[in-house]
Amino acid sequence: MNLEKLVAISGKSGLFSMVSNRSNGLIVEDLDNKQRFFVSARTNQFTPLASISIYTNDEEETVELKDVFKRMKAGLDQYPLADMKADSSAFRTYFENIMPEHDRERVLISDIKKLTKWFGFLHERNLLTEEENAENADSTEL
C-alpha cells in the first residue's frame, strides 16, 4: 500500500495525488477525474498521508497510517466501516476493534472520522492494493 504521493489539502475535500512540488505550492491530480491543478502553499496546508501515524498506549510507539489501513481492509468483513453520520461512540468502538492499542486520550474522534473517511475514499476507488509493494520488491531484488 503506497501512500507516498497521496496528500490531504486543507479546505478541499477528498485526497489528491501529488504530481509535482513547487516552491510556492503543489501540482496535484484529482483522483476521480484526473484533472491536474495548482494549489498554493500560501492559502493551504498539505498533509502527506505517508507522514501520518497513530499514537499507541506505548508512549514511544506509533503505527503508520498504511498499517492502520491494512488492518481496516483486513477487518472489513468482520468490522464494517462506521457510517459517517454515526455518533462518536460508534467510531470509537469501530476503531477499538481495528486498533485496540491506540491511545484513547491522544487519538481524537475527529482523527478517527477523518481516517475512516480517507480509507473509504481510497477503498471505493481500489487504491489500497498491495501490488505496488510487490512490484517494488521484485525490482529491488534484481
Prediction pTM value: 0.85
Which residue would you say has higher pLDDT here, 59 or 115? 115
Which burial class, exposed, middle or buried, applies to 113 when counting CB atoms under 10 A from its CB (0-12, 13-18, 19+)?
middle
> Which string of b and e fits 90-108 if b means at least 16 CB within 10 Å?
ebbebbeebbeebeeeebe
Residues 55-107: tens digit of each pLDDT: 999 888 999 999 999 999 999 999 999 889 999 999 999 999 999 999 999 99
